[in-house]
Amino acid sequence: MVAEGDNRSTNLLAAETASLEEQLQGWGEVMLMADKVLRWERAWFPPAIILTSLLLLPGLNQHGIILKYIGMAKRAINKLLEQKEKKNE
- 29-57 pLDDT, tens per residue? 888 888 887 787 777 777 877 878 777 77
Contact 60, 70 (CB under 8 A): no
**For residues 4 and 10, what is the distance between their CA atoms, to the nearest angstrom?**
10
pTM of the model: 0.36
Decide if pLDDT at 1 tops 50: no
**For residues 43 and 37, what is the distance between their CA atoms, to the nearest angstrom?**
10
